[in-house]
Amino acid sequence: MSGILSTKIAGLALEHPVLNASGILGSDPEHIDILASHGFSAIVTKTFTLNPREGYNPPVLVELRSGGFLNAIGLANPGVQGIKPLVDRARFLGKPIIVSIGGSSIEEFNRVAEVAEDSGASAVELNLSCPHVKGHGLELGSDPTTVFLVTREVSSILKIPVIVKLGLSDRVVESAGKALEAGARALTLINTIRALAIDVYSFKPVLSNIHGGLSGPPIKPIALRVVYDVYKEYKAEIIGCGGISNWIDTAEFILAGARAVQVGSAFLKSRKVVHEIIEGIKSWLSVLGYSNIEELVGRAHS
């Protein structure tokens, strides 16, 4: 692929800026094949915890009339034993792989991170932002002090880059700063947003967990605002995530300060979305007369 789209994030060289968002597929090695075949420049795994988690009972996913999705999977995963098969598969395919990790304590984050590094992961992404699992996400990421402590401890024991994924909170800019201060090489902004859907015939919440994470187009302007604000404050390396559906969305995130993006809900609706984004961004750069995408990172601030 032409170098016009090449970029770097957390020291990882990418042929283009489009990654998958964590959790859009499961934990089988075959899922790595699917993601790679659709052109993502790097693979992000679903979130792994130290021990297996069964997640919530169905229903756990609903498509909304607004065009987005509401999900409460519950961080279902096979535990750390599931990491190495995915890493091995991605490395066989020549794809950088970022292992998403979760935990309810610093010790758990450390142990999962060590397994990821020992398995050959390219980087880890600390999930400090899950909006529907108590003690495993948003409560951690919305407290800047906790963000600092978790990030510092994990960064201190790893040689591979640490990326911190933060969700929407009143203190997200402060939390971002604390993550960077503690050693994060990059930030993923943002995760899904806590939300609710109710069945008007049964009179009950649709999801078994009641609350879920809202994703897709409805949250894009919010995610874009967070990327803009964090980049303005810290000039950090950022992966934009939240409602990205096409090349224009991607271009907005780049101009706001993102060096790469993650696509989730749009991939569930169209397996052509990666190709369409890549071709659209190439045409955009050509029309504007730029030789590399990195020349436009953060240009909305100039």
Taken in order 285, 289, 294, 300, the sign of the CA dihedral is: negative
Query: Count of CB atoms within 10 A of residue 218's CB?
Result: 18
**C-alpha–C-alpha distance, residues 35 and 19, integer Å:** 9
Beta bridge partners of 77: 53
Angstrom distance (rounded) from CA 204 to CA 119: 43
C-alpha distances in Å from residue 255, one per residue of 76, 127, 295, 299: 35, 25, 10, 5
Do 140 and 101 form a contact (C-beta atoms < 8 A)? Answer: no
Question: Sheet holding 18-20: strands in order across?
Answer: 18-20, 258-263, 238-241, 186-189, 162-166, 123-128, 97-101, 43-44
Q: Give the Cα separation of 126 and 109 in Å (integer).
A: 8
Cα gap 289→177, rounded to integer Å: 34
3-state helix/strand/coil string of 174-207:
HHHHHHHHCCCCEEEECCCEEEECEECCCCEECC
**Is 130 annotated as catalytic?**
yes
Which two structure tokens, joined as six digits, stand for 144? 């800047």
The rounded distance, in Å, linking the Cα atoms of 239 and 253 is 9
Contact 117, 160 (CB under 8 A): yes
> 130, 166, 241, 256: which is the annotated catalytic residue?
130
List active site positions.
Answer: 130
